[in-house]
Amino acid sequence: MREWFWVPVNPLIETRPGTHREAGPQTNMNPTSFEALQLAAPIQRALRERNYQTLTPIQAQAIPPLLEGRDLLGCAQTGTGKTAAFSLPILNELFENPRELRPRSSRALVLTPTRELANQVGESLRTYGQHLRNRHALVYGGVGQRPQVNAMRNGVDILVACPGRLLDLVGQGHIDLSHVEFFVLDEVDRMLDMGFQRDVTRIVDLLPQDRQSLFFSATLSKPIVNLAHTILYDPVTIRIEPERTTAEEVEQEVCFIERGDKRSLLVQRLRAQKDGELAIVFSRTKHGSDKLARHLKQADIGAEAIHGNRSQAQRDRTLNRFRSGRLPVLVATDVAARGVDVKDVTLVVNFDLPNEAEAYVHRIGRTGRAGATGNAVSFCSPEEREFLRDIEKLIQQSIPVWDDHQWHIASLAERHAQGRSVSTERGAKKKVSRGNRRPQGRNGRRRRPRRPANA
């Protein structure tokens, strides 16, 4: 049995039906280390054992207001510690304010878009709460529901779930969401991209009004902000970095190449990897990722595919082999762009450029994590140049060209560079013309400037 630590706790924070939790004592709003946070002794012990010392920016800014009971909308790049930012305050509150668990219920609900991310959050909860007597359950599709139903029978402290299976078990009467005190919507932008907005709305309608709600996302588009304002109550909004930038630790390159030559260049690039280095190769389709993995195996490169059509057991085995270093290359669709948290990934290859520019940021965020450096190489065929243009517009920078290979298309690189220059010149001219344009009245007629009131 895990050790149980008892320390003096703050008086319970009283709440009234239909209202939000009142803020507790003022905490250090500018902490730099985990020791400076007002976290319970068992949690601090777990952090020390893992040698967690310095807070990341999202943790430093999010944890203090969360400890005070505030709702929060947080935006930070992937790999910056968002999971700990919401897990630690919840674990702390569950410890300092213990309550008897209700059957089929949970005190905290963490909603994630993918099974991989759910497992990642579950592993973090086990790590930070290893000296607590908390119970948590994972609920997602792709596996049998019986173990999940059994796990929820007597209630849990924290439920980590994907929307589809959660609503299914709620409909069957196996889960009751009417007693949730803490609601976390993780990777909100990915959730909306995958079409879960309606499911999220249904789930929120099942939650009690008196709760603390947390939204975390890598980007903050207008639809996300609008959704957050309909669910959050007087939230603290935190933006760590501009949502259109990529990690500085990732060295980015683009290769202009014919589609038929991509496999040859990929084999060449992967063979240049050192022993023990891990790589993730992104393909746009499930079928394409399977074919690519088979091709790499034929070239004596250890690779396996992971995507939505594979069972959860298959995905778990593949990810475990990848994390342990026994599998050097993971071929994935965007389902793995989030939720695969492996610190030793040194290379990301965009074999197919994503047709959504935001996905590029999430893909290359799989490397250069936790302060490490990494490389991201993108293969751009002639029909994908528009995708590359959208990506560079989003990240507000030009990606350097890698032309040191035999399949480089110089003419395509030149056309892209010229198109980029023309676009920049047009933007500059538009700004100048707008700045010098005289006020226009109706029907395009020039409008006389208004006379000052004291003239």
Alpha-carbon Rg for the chain in angstroms: 25
So where are the chain's domains?
34-239, 250-421
- First CA to last CA across the chain, in angstroms? 85
Concatenating the DSSP letter of every residue in 369-415 gives: GGG--EEEEEEE-GGGHHHHHHHHHHHTSPPPB---STT--HHHHHH
Question: In 3D, which of 124, 138, 149 has the Cα closest to residue 46?
Answer: 124
pTM: 0.61
3-state secondary structure (DSSP) of residue 214 = strand
Angle at 243 between CA 239 and CA 244, to 5 degrees: 155
Q: In what order do the strands lie in the sheet with 250-256?
A: 250-256, 374-380, 345-350, 278-282, 329-332, 303-306
Q: Do domains 34-239 and 250-421 have the same CATH topology?
A: yes
Under a CB-based contact definition with an 8 Å cutoff, are residues 410 and 257 in contact?
no
Name the phi and psi angles at 212, rounded to 5. -105, 125
Tens-level pLDDT at each residue, the chain (455 residues): 333 332 322 322 223 233 344 444 444 556 888 988 989 999 999 999 988 888 988 899 999 999 999 999 998 766 678 899 999 999 999 999 999 999 999 999 999 998 888 998 999 999 999 999 999 999 999 889 999 999 999 999 999 999 999 999 999 999 999 999 999 999 888 788 778 889 999 999 999 999 999 998 877 778 888 888 888 999 999 987 544 455 667 899 999 999 999 999 999 999 999 988 999 999 988 899 999 999 999 999 999 998 877 877 888 889 889 989 999 999 998 865 555 677 789 999 999 999 888 788 888 888 887 667 889 999 999 999 999 999 999 888 999 999 999 999 999 999 999 876 655 444 444 444 444 444 444 344 333 333 334 33
DSSP character for 5?
-
CATH architecture of the domain with residue range 34-239: 3-Layer(aba) Sandwich (3.40)
Comparing C-alpha atoms, which of 150, 173, 169 is closest to residue 161? 169
* CA distances (Å), origin 395, targets 77, 290, 358, 400, 418: 12, 30, 9, 13, 19
CATH, range 250-421: 3.40.50.300
